[in-house]
Amino acid sequence: MSKLLTVAQQEIRFHLSQRSFYITLIAMPLVFAALGALPRLQNAVERAPLPPVETVLNLGSETLTAPVGIVDHAGLIQDFDQFQPFESVDAADEALRRETIESYYVIATNYLESRQVVEYSQDPQLLSEHDAAVRALLRDNLLQSLDNPNLAARLAHPVEWERQGPPPPVARFIPADMDLSRLVSAGLVIGLFIYLINAGGHLLLRALQREVKAHVLEVMMVSTTPEQFIGGKLVGLTVLTVLQAGLALTAAALVYGQNPDGSGPAALPIVLLALSVPYLLLGFLTTCALLMGIAVLWPNFKESTLLLAAFRFVSLIPLIGTLFILPNPGGPIAMALTLLPITSHLLMPFHLLVEAVPLWQWGLGLVLLTLWTIACLWFSMRLFRLNGLLTGRNVSPNLIWQAMWR
Amino acid sequence: MRILHIFWREYWGNITRPSYLLFTFGFPLFMVALPLGGGLVLALALKSAMPPTDPRPVGLVDQAYVVDDAAIPPHNPVEILFFDDVDAAKQALSQETIQAYYHIPADYWETGQVIIAYDVAPTPPIDGMISRWIEDQIKAEVPARILARVDTGPSITHQGLTGDSAQFDAMSMIAPIAVFVVIYMSRLISSFTASYMFDSITNEAEDRTLEILITTVTPLQFILGKFFGLLAVGLTQIGMWFGAAAVIVVGVGYVWGIDVVSPVLTWPYLGLMVSVLVATYLIDQILAAALGLKRVSGGSGHLLFNSLNAVLTIALLYAMYFVPRNPDTPVAVAASLFPLTASVFLPLRVVISEVPIWQTVLSQCLLWASVIGGLFWLRELLQANLVANAQPTTWQAIFNDRWRDLKRLATRTK
């Protein structure tokens, strides 16, 4: 036990000597708390008189911002609205050269068959900001050309429903009566958990590779058992993770729910946070155990970094479960997802924070997750031991299987 | 011969790495599996969030004569039963033979209003079915030529005043999308290969293999061998991805009878595109190697390398969102000339606007001059790094040395 604690102490000491640890330790609670102020910032930006920015996403304006001409060879346009009509191309060309217009459009004689319209300008480009206005002009004039004005109106707006009964059901992931600020709080807490779990796994991987690179591992292994060595590393990192999580959650608990207008994340209930933290810790330990397996099987740092990236992506997959929990929190899918050990470490805290969960369900989920974590840790310890046994030999699935039970 | 040894060692060592194989084969599979899997999950989630559809039919009372008697009514998701008057429909609703009825009143053509009566509202797919059917009946009243133009709108071509100016029509939209995809994929591959280069140089410099190597080969041989080895690694990856994509596209085109090869080969900007992408790829590798060497003496290489990638990603986003609207702003022109960002901005600008020829030529000259200069600069940096075992090299010292050499050369020329 004392050796395990010694390894843990050394791990903590190493991280406490790193400048980056302190930067993260301070920055994370600040960022996490600052997210609560985002809605107020958004309100301030919406009130500020900022000019619109021209991007590919806001190209659909039907209002002209500069003088533009039209030469209608098809004779379709009755109402030129905001455009300047020209009798001929020469006249429009002259106006363009004198810069009284920015560009002009020529509607082909056989427009109804060919769809052809050409815009002439000094600096032609693929996306013109006047195109949407020209499309609207042509559409409106074509509808006006119909004999029956009612037909044109119905073609533009076919149906307006008048309901004699209760409002229709709406397909939505978030129930109408759900408190959105509570949902935001739950989302932020889950985001923090994902970050801490991934960061902890990464630190463990780096810690093992650090020892391998410095050739300290061989020396350590003769004086400690794999359980003591890995256990020590995990205890050290868990202490640091709990410290980070505690600071971030305390900062959030102090800030969230304090916006005077009621916007932003809701206040974090301490009891629910306390019920969520065991899931975080068990999820953290499971992730560390699985990553340790990666580090053992692929000790090359470059290789394991790529696998770590893939693992991080895979670790986000349980979040898809929120789409199934939100519409029906009490349903069988939601219950299964909060009990399943590979998803419960994230989805049970999420479920707790958005909707009440029966205590037996919380307890059963915790028991299942604990068993799963123990199995993962055992497996990774065996793999770690196997790493020593298989030194210098080509690793095959059969060899791994045999070595696992020796 | 020694260059070949270094080249082969670098090439073979990298393309047999598990991470390389995983990325080369896994990434395209991932890109295909992600939308498929994501779509499937989203569809399942949507289905679970949707209220169930009542299978009973709905009624329709048409007092505005919108529906043509000969028209075949839709029956998906439920059947439609016709009633002559509202009372009959009400009775059917009270007897629960129908779940709701839709009443098109006599003044529908003026108001557009349709009344829905029900106890429990029909689901949105049923409303959609009725709405679409009414819309189809209205469209049947409109002359086909006008309806076609109202539905599809004009095909607008943009062109300059002179006959030889650039033209942009609806088909031209394909070019910027294709260019963006190619640029994005090239940047991705380039940054991935550059990280090989960075790690490779750093590791050899860190475990002091560099010094051993350098006693048997010259710095230029070492750099060229490594450089072209890693270049071949990247080209292998590009070849596999783009080759597979080309086989699929050509195969699909062949089945559908579409010639997709000729438009690519006759595309006027193909040469420019290849030149810009190759030169930028080389610059990325040069910078990665330089930063790999810098890490040994300065320790800031990794940070700079990541920062550079972040800046280029932001440039790509900027080019995608803002440049198509305003392709000739000073920022866009400057970025087209600057060697590090030219590969993002110049190809995009030439397919969406008329770029002056001097800008294209100057951009190319700057780009390739940077490549050639970069290779020699890399050799100097390698030597400086070796010499500087006792004293770390600084960027300032390297540039000062070059400046001194130039002054010496100028004096000799005089």
Single-letter amino acid code for the residue at B176: P
Give the closest of A123, A146, A170 to B146, CB-based: A146
Among the ranges given (A225-239, A326-340, B283-297, B398-412), the one the predictor scored with the smallest mean pLDDT: B398-412
Chain A interface mutation, best of B158, B188, B191, highest count of A Cβ atoms under 10 Å: B158
**DSSP structure string for A99-144:** TSSSEEEEE-TTHHHH-EEEEEESS-BSS-TTHHHHHHHHHHHHHH
Cα(B69)–Cα(A332) distance, integer angstroms: 48
- A295 and A251 in a common domain: yes
Q: Is residue A282 part of a domain?
A: yes
- A140 and A187 in a common domain: no
- B233 and B125 in a common domain: no
Q: Is residue B159 part of a domain?
A: no
B109 touches chain A (CB under 8 A): yes
Q: How far is B410 from chain A (nearest CA, A)?
A: 45
Q: Pick the residue with more confidence: A49 or A318?
A: A318
Q: Is residue B16 part of a domain?
A: no
- Residue pair B192/B229 in contact (Cβ under 8 Å)? The answer is no
- The structure tokens listed for B207 are 């475990």
Q: Is residue A326 part of a domain?
A: yes
- A194 and A71 in a common domain: no
- CATH number reported for the structural domain that contains residue B86 in this entry: 3.40.190.10
Q: Pick the residue with more confidence: B41 or A171?
A: B41
Q: Is residue A167 part of a domain?
A: no
B157 bridge partner residues: A118
- CA A11: distance to chain centroid? 32
Q: Is residue A394 part of a domain?
A: yes
Give the closest of A129, A139, A161 to B150, CB-based: A139
Q: Is residue A51 part of a domain?
A: no
Domain that holds residue A123: 60-156
- B364 and B306 in a common domain: yes
Domain that holds residue B63: 58-148
Alpha helices in A263-300 (DSSP H): 270-297
- A199 and A148 in a common domain: no
Interface predicted TM-score (ipTM):
0.74
Q: Is residue B25 part of a domain?
A: no
Cα(B86)–Cα(B63) distance, integer angstroms: 9
- B316 and B197 in a common domain: yes
Kind and range of the H or E element at A98? none
- Residue pair B264/B51 in contact (Cβ under 8 Å)? The answer is no
- A238 and A139 in a common domain: no
The distance between the two most distant Cα atoms of chain B, rounded to a whole number of Å, is 109
Cα(B151)–Cα(A139) distance, integer angstroms: 9
- CATH number reported for the structural domain that contains residue A142 in this entry: 3.40.190
- B119 and B240 in a common domain: no
pLDDT bucket at A314, cuts 50 / 70 / 90: confident
pLDDT in tens, chain B (414 residues): 677 888 888 888 888 877 778 778 887 888 788 888 888 888 888 777 777 889 999 999 999 999 887 788 899 899 999 999 999 999 999 999 999 999 999 999 999 999 999 999 998 889 999 999 999 999 998 888 889 998 899 999 999 888 778 889 888 888 888 898 888 888 877 877 777 777 777 766 666 566 666 677 777 777 778 778 877 887 888 788 878 888 888 888 888 888 878 888 888 899 999 999 889 988 888 888 888 776 654 445 666 666 777 778 888 888 988 898 889 999 999 999 999 899 899 999 999 999 999 999 999 999 999 999 998 888 787 777 664 444 555 666 666 666 777 777 677 666
How long a stretch of residues is chain B? 414
- A79 and A9 in a common domain: no
The average pLDDT across A384-405 equals 64
- B200 and B97 in a common domain: no
- B285 and B213 in a common domain: yes
- A242 and A303 in a common domain: yes
Give the closest of B17, B19, B150 to A155, CB-based: B150
- A399 and A334 in a common domain: yes
Please give the tally of structural domains in chain B.
Answer: 2
**pLDDT on residue B390:** 45
Q: Is residue B227 part of a domain?
A: yes
Q: A55 vs B134: CB contact, 8 Å cut-off?
A: no
Q: Is residue B106 part of a domain?
A: yes
B144 touches chain A (CB under 8 A): no
- B324 and B247 in a common domain: yes
For B73, the 3-state DSSP assignment is: coil
- A390 and A293 in a common domain: yes
Which of B 239-298 lie inside 8 A of A, CB atoms?
Answer: none
Single-letter amino acid code for the residue at B393: T
- A191 and A125 in a common domain: no
A156, A190, A213 — which closes off a domain?
A156
How long a stretch of residues is chain A? 406
- B212 and B354 in a common domain: yes
Chain A residue with Cα closest to B148: A112
Global pTM value: 0.68
- Residue pair A288/B5 in contact (Cβ under 8 Å)? The answer is no
- B125 and B268 in a common domain: no
**pLDDT on residue B388:** 47
Which residues have a Cβ under 8 Å from the Cβ of B138 and sit 6 or more positions away? A151, A154, A155, A158, B66
- B226 and B192 in a common domain: yes
Single-letter amino acid code for the residue at A278: P
Q: Is residue B50 part of a domain?
A: no
| pLDDT tens per residue, range A106-141 | 999 999 999 999 999 988 998 888 999 999 999 999
Kind and range of the H or E element at B116? strand B113-118
Q: How far is B205 from chain A (nearest CA, A)?
A: 15
- A146 and A188 in a common domain: no
- Among A60, A82, A63, A117, smallest CA distance to B325 is for A60
- B353 and B215 in a common domain: yes
Please give the tally of structural domains in chain A.
Answer: 2
- B182 and B88 in a common domain: no
- A343 and A222 in a common domain: yes
Q: Is residue B11 part of a domain?
A: no
Q: Is residue A50 part of a domain?
A: no
Q: Is residue A172 part of a domain?
A: no
pLDDT bucket at A360, cuts 50 / 70 / 90: very high
For A299, the 3-state DSSP assignment is: coil
- Residue pair B90/A136 in contact (Cβ under 8 Å)? The answer is no
* Rg of the Cα atoms in chain B: 33
Q: How far is A212 from chain B (nearest CA, A)?
A: 15
